Amino acid sequence: MSLERFPRFTLLDGPTPLQRLPALSTKLKINLFVKRDDMSGLGGAGNKLRKLEFLLGDALRSGADILIAIGGVQSNFARLLAAAACKAGVQCELVLSHMVPRDDADYLQNGNTILNQLFGALTHDLPASVDAVEYANARAAELEREGRRVYICPLGGSSPVGCLGYVAGAIEIEQQRAEQGLRFDHVLLPNGSGGTQAGLLAGAMLQGQPVDTIASYNVLAPVEKTIEQTGAKLRGTLDLLGIPAESAEASVKVRDGYRGDGYGVPTDGMRHALSLMATTEGLLLDPVYGGKAFAGLLDDVHSGWIAPGSNVLFVMTGGLP
């Protein structure tokens, strides 16, 4: 496939499972499947590893010997970059700012900060008032003056190069769908920076498949901004793949209403979704992304937007640490 011309550093050893959830299917009167990207590769797993395969490939080809990630204190991307950099034998630095309006110990000493230390990543902890991108650029300039070659990763790993990870993800899902003889009426996922949805959409377009089954639940930005950002990422990814991008924005479907008071702020629907998934299937959703998206899915089942008997694939994106 045309992804072969992009440099890639392997982080996932083969496909993640695509499983049917029998008990929850019965309960919801649908056929519910999950794509277990919470079981990918290394470093505590998650959707960012797919993006990192192509970002690391690109960074290593450019001769970089140090990578910089920008994100929130709780960033899964930063944690997985730290793990992947260890595996690739390059250094990394994490520029982390206070993106969630919380300053309690549970937030500041979350699992990711502990794992970042375990991976030996140098962390720059910024107050909310400092512009993280400017800070990262200044730090990169400083490192370059010392003779280092720096690669700055985009927020959430969602540049067009990073989005290629979910183009590959879409190809993997299509293979599993065909092998298992399935047909999905809905493919649903959380949307933060939009890279995962953009990659899945570009992957479907690359394979000549319809894209109207794919929809996300926004958990970070308001819906208009989410659609705009995801559309821009989709356009950039299609450009990279050499696919015409006329109807890019129009194919981005986002289901609003589950973000609550803001990114990372818990909602009752999220708590219910986590508990239902745990008590019915023994599976763990994270509270920032998967929990809010799954709360949306449950509402969409109850409202009938997802019709009884539908085949639904929910992408589990990780984030538990």
Ligand X SMILES: *Cc1c(COP(=O)(O)O)cnc(C)c1O
Q: Which is nearer to ligand X, 149 or 235 (CB)?
A: 235
Tell me the CB-side half-sphere exposure of residue 81, using CA atoms within 13 A: 34
316 three-class SS: strand
Interface size with ligand X, residues (CB under 6 A): 18
| Residue 55: CB minimum distance to ligand X, A | 12
Closer Cβ to ligand X, 147 or 159, answer by number: 159
Our CB check for ligand X shows the closer of 156 and 231 to be 156
Which C-beta is closer to ligand X: that of 51 or that of 181? 51
Burial of 302 (0-12, 13-18, 19+ CB in 10 A): exposed
With CB atoms as reference, the residue minimizing the distance to ligand X is 319
Cβ-proximal residues to 138 (8 Å cutoff; 6+ apart), any chain: none
Q: Which of 75, 159, 216, 251 is catalytic?
A: 75
- Please confirm, yes or no, whether 75 is among the known catalytic residues: yes
User: Mask: binding to ligand X, 155-174, rule CB under 6 A, as x and -?
Assistant: -x-x----------------
CB 26, min distance to ligand X, A: 26
**Which residue type does 110 have?**
N
In what side-by-side order are the strands of the sheet with 150-152?
122-126, 91-97, 66-72, 150-152
Helix (H) or strand (E) holding 217: strand 214-218
Regarding 154 and contact with ligand X (CB under 6 A), the answer is no
Unique residue bearing structure tokens 């192509």: 54
Tokens 């970042």 sit on residue: 116
Judged by CB under 6 A, the chain residues 256 through 315 that form the site for ligand X are 286, 289
The pattern of x and - marking residues 176 through 205 that bind ligand X according to CB under 6 A reads: --------------xxxxxxx---------
Q: Establish if 110 lies at the interface with ligand X (CB under 6 A).
A: no
The reply to whether 46 sits near ligand X by the rule CB under 6 A is: yes
* Strand partners for 66: 91, 150
- Cα separation of 112 and 74, whole Å? 6
Enzyme catalytic residues: 75
Q: Which residues bind ligand X (CB under 6 A)?
A: 46-48, 76, 156, 158, 190-196, 286, 289, 317-319
